Chain A
């Protein structure tokens, strides 16, 4: 600290010079460590920890602890970000569900409701319940006055205030009042429908009213809490909001809650390691599935990977996985197969596949996209022009097949970030740093005297892989940093290849004459992603990978229900992350499959066929393929697919004929809210 109270930070610059700078604030990016409680728990339940105290897992079973039947997810398994945590959690769920699948649905008792009262022809009789929320509303809004006002409004058969409308007692009271006053519509003015609407809907359903004969208005979060010092205006606002709710609820009609049965089968597109793991995940949970592979071999990219950084054999794992797939009676493998067409929606998809010119139609309830990605084919650094310039995957294959002998490699140069983190592709491919370290260590293992230079922008051997980076340094692998301004230059002559790089420590150019130049080529998306994305109506990101519903919280879902993603199709990632994600996709996909039906909120669009002229505008703007043109008596008419409709109402707001309306948010209902405050 200096005399002004500012912080002085002393650090070693890139050029090895010591520098000191003054800062107002220093933020420490603190690492992860396992919690002491988790370590204690691990001892109690007898699961193995790794040397850092995190839960030990095998590379190929990232959510399984050392003790069968105990699974792990999240940061206790190793430092990770939210999406990987969520993936592991869903993956662990899938693993647990596999063990429990015989017992599924055995401990369930179904809740029964009284039959729904017919209210269609009845005059609206509205009950209004206005909450004090302790003093939260009552201290600002004059609740009794609002009740008094509500009583004066047309069709209000009953109104009262409650200390807490959400309390158990009040639920009973609401039910009693519905009976006593023969109420057929209910309004609650209290907090947010986002948190409490389902509770009140359940209450009125228990009293025999359809859940959608209910409207809630928010006089706490959006009134008393935000107009604390304006009790009069807040009371007026509450009155207005209550009037708007009453005018809307008056028009409500019962909506039929829909359930759609499900074909309890899955379609997995892609027979790489992610696709196979997802298929096994579904089958182990008891669901039949179709596994579609476009080539004549299962395995995908992993065929080209032979060992992991920590020395596990990928080939053996792959072989075992293929064997499990082939032996599983619930999995139907289609090789040399392409998806031609997908129609339908969650629970009821129908896909046409082409197997060597022959078409077959498959029916299934969910889809898992696991179409993979592939290694970038470099155009940089003389790749393809000089036989001594190869990629990391090619190096690995040559080492495994002994077509390249490490003993003969005196000088090897590896260049990182080839095709990744460039202007064209901004993303990091996540695997190449580890791959370079892995192959460097392999060469060093056989030929310790080999000089290996790794030219990098940033080394990202993240998580536990960091120790292999340290190991490589200790074994004399030389890491030289380059920047976008000082990229390595590679030339060739009769004497072989020359690589020139600027060494920031020496402050001058260095020249290497490697026997082998290895490019750490990034991962790029498959070219056919675009066609598949169009077919499934799911989005791709700017780089051409499939885009999940939420980057943090929904890492395997698409916004379109019933479709999931895993593996390299989603983004570049190492094998263990692909495996977690594949398990997660299987876990998430099994949720609708095990339920046997999908329930659909009736807040969906509906089409007035008399008005509809079949123009197709709705179909073209719906982001969820939830409305389509169908031929009815030879005339095109729009038709909602309730199971797919998310209820946004864009079609209703856009229909040129005003032929579409939204359940619970009809034009008339919204117009009534708009018109509620017109002075009489």
Chain B
């Protein structure tokens, strides 16, 4: 089964280093597995976390993002931002229940044709061993994750992560990397669950307890998301079943 599985991998390559590295592999006639479909961007910094979830929703089995080596970015710091963002995206994939290994970020210079070929082939083999990505049952999670990386709060945190780490916040406080990790990861999970609840309620009205059992969280936790969602107008009270309130999206 795994033998005749041909993974479909979308590869975002930056124009200046990794795309040139891919050309170099060609010029040197270094053979590699034919599973990637390349999307050229000027900088790996252009790769919006949204693209990763779009890719999975569009049926790709894995996502490869390649940039210039750290310190060599044509745009000075683009790839540092990409590194931070993709690390978070990997965590979010884990939260959704998708193997984080299906997203790989690595660095290839314009001269490293052999390295490019090696990364593509070994990633393709890795994805083969993971098997096809089956999105059945994960669509809602993927949509919720996409909504999460579209949310203002998360985009702020992802955009500011480097600055928070290097220069501190507006009050001049510098958080340690583990404090920042905790801050952003908590926000990711929080925002994801909120979006998931909202998506679930688009299908049919449910009570807090019903949602809790679907999501696998305590009713206490769900009720706090419901309060948030009610406040922002994304969810409203649909009616009562007996004494139990039921909620619906919108």
Q: Which residues of A contact B (CB under 8 A)?
A: 192-194, 218, 220-223, 225-230, 233-234, 236-237, 240-241, 244, 539, 559, 603, 615, 617, 620-621, 623-624, 646-650, 652-658, 662, 665, 667, 670-671, 673-675, 677-679
State whether B27 touches A221 (Cβ < 8 A): yes
CA distance A459 to B40 in the complex (A): 49
B23 contacts the other chain (Cβ, under 8 Å)?
Answer: yes
| Minimum CB–CB distance for B243 against chain A, Å | 41
Q: Given A623-B76, A623-B77, check contact A230 B43 (CB 8 Å).
A: no
Binding site for A on B (CB under 8 A): 6, 8, 10, 15, 19-20, 22-23, 25-27, 29-32, 34, 37-43, 45-51, 54-55, 58-60, 74-78, 81, 85, 117, 150, 152-153, 155-156, 158-160, 162-163
- Is A603 a contact partner of B31 (Cβ separation < 8 A)? no
Most buried by A among B8, B37, B60, B160: B37
Taken together as a complex, chains A and B put the C-alpha atoms of A237 and B37 apart, in Å, by 7
CA distance A398 to B31 in the complex (A): 69
Find the B residue at minimum CB distance from A195. Answer: B23
Are A617 and B156 touching (Cβ within 8 A)?
yes
* Cβ–Cβ contact A657 & B46, under 8 A: no
Residues of A with C-beta under 8 A to B15: 194
In the complex the two chains form, what is the Cα distance from A675 to B43 in whole Å?
20
B contact residues around A244 at 8 Å (CB)? 37, 39
A271 CB to closest chain B CB (Å) equals 30
- Of B20, B30, B46, chain A has the most CB atoms within 10 Å of the CB of B46
Q: How far is the CA of A363 from the CA of B98 in the complex (A)?
A: 56
Q: List 12 A-B residue pairs with CB atoms under 8 Å apart, sorted by A's residue number.
A: A222-B38, A226-B25, A226-B117, A227-B31, A236-B34, A603-B42, A620-B163, A624-B76, A650-B43, A665-B46, A674-B58, A677-B37
Known: A647-B42, A674-B10. 16 other contacts (CB 8 A): A222-B26, A226-B25, A226-B34, A228-B31, A233-B34, A559-B75, A621-B162, A623-B78, A649-B41, A655-B155, A656-B156, A658-B150, A662-B42, A665-B42, A674-B58, A677-B60
> What separation, in Å, do the CA atoms of A675 and B26 have in the docked complex?
26
Q: Are B26 and A220 neighbours in the complex by a CB distance under 8 Å?
A: yes
Measured CA separation A647–B15 after assembly (Å): 11
A648 with B46, Cβ < 8 A, contacts A234-B34, A621-B159 known:
yes
User: Which of A218, A226, A650 makes the CB contact (< 8 A) with B30?
Assistant: A226
With beta carbons under 8 angstroms apart, the residue of B38, B43, B152, B163 that contacts A241 is: B38
Give the CA-CA distance A624 to B30 in the complex, in Å.
36
Would you give the shortest CB distance from A468 to chain B, in whole angstroms? 38
Q: Which chain A residue shows the least CB distance to B38?
A: A222
* B19 x A194 contact (CB < 8 A): yes
Tell me the bound Cα distance from A674 to B38 in angstroms. Answer: 10
Please determine whether B117 and A621 come into contact, CB atoms closer than 8 angstroms: no
Q: Contact partner of B31 among A229, A671, A675, CB < 8 A?
A: A229
Q: How far is the CA of A192 from the CA of B40 in the complex (A)?
A: 11
**Which of A192, A226, A559, A671 has most chain B Cβ within 10 Å?**
A226
Query: Cα distance A161–B186 when bound, in Å?
Result: 54
Given contacts A226-B29, A227-B31, A678-B58, contact A649 B159 (CB under 8 A): no
Decide: A648 near B150, CB < 8 A? Known: A193-B40, A222-B23, A621-B163.
no
Nearest to B49 among chain A residues (CB) is: A653
How far, in angstroms, from A665 to B10 measured CA to CA in the complex? 16
Question: Do B75 and A648 touch across chains, with their CB atoms under 8 A apart?
Answer: yes
Which single member of B29, B77, B85 contacts A225 (CB below 8 Å)? B29
